[in-house]
Amino acid sequence: MGRQFWFLGIPILIAVLLTGCDGVVGGPTSRIYVEIGDAAHGGPSDKFYLLPPLVEEPSYSGEFDSSLEPVVSIPDLDIEFTTESLRGAESIRVVPEDEQYIVNWHTEVFDLEIPGVYRISFLSDDEEIGYVEVHIFEDEVEVPVGDEFQTMINPGRTLPIKFRIEL
């Protein structure tokens, strides 16, 4: 039964991954719905792109805007990363040579619900320009669609949050 369901589910999985914000990942007995909102996935801004390891490398053609002061927010944990956060790796940094912004989320510092889902929101001028869900699991989870989504992590890991904003 499970094997038949898996084979029947492949066309649905491909359709979901090709058509929008919601991706489905997981093995034949687990289904994880990943919500992504960026320019490559129909998000609120056509100038904001999530970058690996959160998603596969998107294609973009605009000019990188390194002049912004974005905010990365995880509302359920009452976390806001800014360009002026106190701790080095936990402040948003501009990496001009890679044309991206980056901040490291040290999950071991927070009391995470396991398993849990945390929405990361990206703000510019107090407006949400993108978002992604991150799923926290105690054990490794198989992702049968290759590296399509890297939004599943184990507690205690550091998640590099990389993104690009264009002019």
pLDDT tens per residue, range 55-90 = 889 999 899 999 999 999 999 999 899 998 766 668
Q: What is the pLDDT of residues 1-21, one digit of tens each?
A: 444 433 333 333 322 333 333
3-state class of 66 per DSSP?
Answer: coil
pLDDT value, residue 44:
94
Residue 113 belongs to a domain: yes
Residue 127 belongs to a domain: yes
Element (H, E) at 3: helix 2-19
Residue 56 belongs to a domain: yes
Residue 17 belongs to a domain: no
Structural domain boundaries enclosing 100: 36-165
3-state helix, strand, coil in the chain (%, to 5): 20, 40, 45
Q: Is the peptide bond before 11 cis (omega within 30 degrees of 0)?
A: no
Residue 4 belongs to a domain: no
**What total of structural domains would you count in the chain?**
1
Residue 26 belongs to a domain: no
Q: What is the pLDDT of residues 139-156, one digit of tens each?
A: 655 543 334 444 555 556
Q: What is the pLDDT of residues 85-136, one digit of tens each?
A: 766 668 999 999 999 999 998 888 888 887 888 899 999 999 999 999 887 7
| Residue 33's pLDDT band (cuts 50, 70, 90) | low
- Maximum Cα–Cα distance for the chain, whole Å? 54
Residue 49 belongs to a domain: yes
Residue 23 belongs to a domain: no
Q: What is the pTM of this model?
A: 0.73
